[in-house]
A = this chain, B = another copy of it.
Amino acid sequence: MRAVIMHGPGDVRVEDVDKPTLVEATDAIIRVTSTCVCGSDLWPYRGAQKSRGPARMGHEYVGVVEQVGDAVREVAVGDLVVGSFVASDNTCEICQAGFQSRCKHQVMMGSVGTQAEFARIPLADGTLVKVPGEPTPAQMRSLLAASDVLGTGWFAAVAAEAGPGKTVAVVGDGAVGLLAILAAQRLGADRIIAMSRHADRQALARRFGATDIVEERGAEGVARVKELTDGYGAHSTVEAVGTQESMMQAIRSTRPGGHVGFVGVSHGVELDGRDLFNATVSLLGGPAPVRRFLPELIDLIMADEIDPGAVFDLELPLEEAAEGYRAMDERRATKVLLSV
Q: Which residues of A contact B (CB under 8 A)?
A: 93-94, 97-99, 101-102, 104, 159, 230-232, 242, 244, 247, 255-257, 262, 265-274, 276-287, 289
| In-complex Cβ contact of A269 among B265, B272, B279, B280 (8 A) | B272
Given A94-B232, A247-B273, check contact A102 B284 (CB 8 Å): no
CA distance A257 to B103 in the complex (A): 10
The reply to whether B283 and A287 form a contact with Cβ atoms under 8 Å apart is no
11 A–B contacts from the bound complex (CB under 8 Å): A93-B232, A99-B257, A244-B273, A262-B277, A268-B273, A269-B274, A269-B276, A271-B273, A280-B286, A282-B283, A283-B284
The reply to whether A278 and B284 form a contact with Cβ atoms under 8 Å apart is no
CA distance A266 to B281 in the complex (A): 15
| In-complex Cβ contact of A280 among B232, B277, B285 (8 A) | B285
| In-complex Cβ contact of A276 among B97, B255, B271 (8 A) | B271
Q: Give min CB distance, A264 to chain B, whole Å.
A: 9
Q: Give min CB distance, A92 to chain B, whole Å.
A: 8
B-side contacts of A287, CB under 8 Å: 277-278, 280
Q: Give min CB distance, A238 to chain B, whole Å.
A: 14
The reply to whether A273 and B276 form a contact with Cβ atoms under 8 Å apart is no
Given A266-B276, A268-B273, check contact A94 B286 (CB 8 Å): no
The reply to whether A266 and B277 form a contact with Cβ atoms under 8 Å apart is yes
CA distance A98 to B93 in the complex (A): 31
Given A269-B273, A271-B270, check contact A286 B256 (CB 8 Å): yes
Closest to A284 in B: B282
